[in-house]
Amino acid sequence: GSCNLVARTLKITRQVPGVTYKVLCKSDNAECVSDKENEVFQHHHVMTFVDSQLTEDMFIGEESVAAGEHLELTDMPTWLIDPIDGTVNFVHRFPFVAISIAFTVNKQTEFGIVYSCVEDKLFCAQRGGGAFLNGEPLHVSGQEDISRCLVVTEIGAERDDLALSTMTSNIFRLLTLHVHGVRALGTAAVDMCQVATCRADVYYHIGMHCWDIAASRRPVVLSWIRIAHSLT
């Protein structure tokens, strides 16, 4: 149904010709974004497809919020879309960039899709239907000993003193627990999918938006993993 239709359009977007873009950096130089021509192009391509199929549903996307629209997640059928998760990676050609789409009803994720574009990996999960990577079932490591875990996290774009202090202290605390290692790929969606594919054991991050995790949360949850929201 809808899940298969969206999966197909995500694969198609990989073949859509690129457009010229400029790199814009915010004042703290920590968050680079492509100019609106490129990301809105991708956003428009995905949104147009979904809208043509399901005209009565609600939509929440990073580009819509950035454009100043007031959007609230309600009980209505809603699509949450991030057209480019990992924009800084995209700018620097670091090979982890994803498109993520989730569909919610009554604020519960019915299905989530993450397409890691460069890797050509399509993660799909549907409530009651399992989680899959390119059609193969997913499972998590099941590791419960934190000292034997590989942890995936993100540094984030905030650079104020409080944000930096919180981020560094949390990583310090993870390392004092003698975890196997800490990794950051630069895209929350792909990070979480590493847990769903058993390549990592734990995902930890603070301050994400709903479109950052709605799609990738479903594969992880359906692979039977607990997502920690804090280290306390």
pLDDT at 81: 83
pLDDT at 84: 82
Q: Is 82 annotated as a binding residue?
A: yes
* Whole-number Å distance between alpha carbons of 106 and 189: 22
From the list 156, 148, 204, the residue with the least C-alpha distance to 177 is 148
pLDDT at 109: 86
Residue 191 annotated as catalytic: no
Going from N- to C-terminal start, the domains of the chain cover: 2-137, 146-222
Residue 206 annotated as catalytic: no
pLDDT digits (tens, 9 = 90+) for 172-201: 998 999 999 999 999 999 999 999 899 999
pLDDT at 91: 83
List 111's β-bridge partners, or say none.
103, 126
* Whole-number Å distance between alpha carbons of 207 and 187: 13
Buried b (16+ CB within 10 A) or exposed e, 41-52: bbbeebbebbee
pLDDT tens-place values along the chain, 232 residues long: 555 656 665 655 555 444 444 555 554 555 555 554 345 445 555 555 555 555 567 777 765 555 566 677 889 998 888 888 888 888 888 999 888 888 889 988 888 889 898 898 999 888 888 889 999 998 888 888 989 999 999 988 788 899 899 989 989 998 999 999 999 999 999 999 999 899 999 988 877 766 666 666 656 555 443 334 333 3
Residue 136 annotated as catalytic: no
* Whole-number Å distance between alpha carbons of 170 and 158: 15
Which pTM does this prediction carry? 0.76
Given 62, 110, 154, 201, the catalytic residue: 62
Looking at domain 146-222, which of 3.30.70.2740, 3.40.190.80, 3.40.50.11290, 3.40.50.800 is its CATH number? 3.40.190.80
pLDDT at 184: 95
Give the rounded distance of the alpha carbon of 101 from its chain centre: 9
Domains 2-137 and 146-222 equal at CATH topology level: no
Residue 87 annotated as catalytic: yes
Q: Is 110 annotated as a binding residue?
A: no
Tell the CATH superfamily of the 2-137 domain: Fructose-1,6-Bisphosphatase, subunit A, domain 1 (3.30.540.10)
Please answer whether residues 107 and 121 qualify as being in contact, where contact means their C-beta atoms are separated by less than 8 angstroms: no
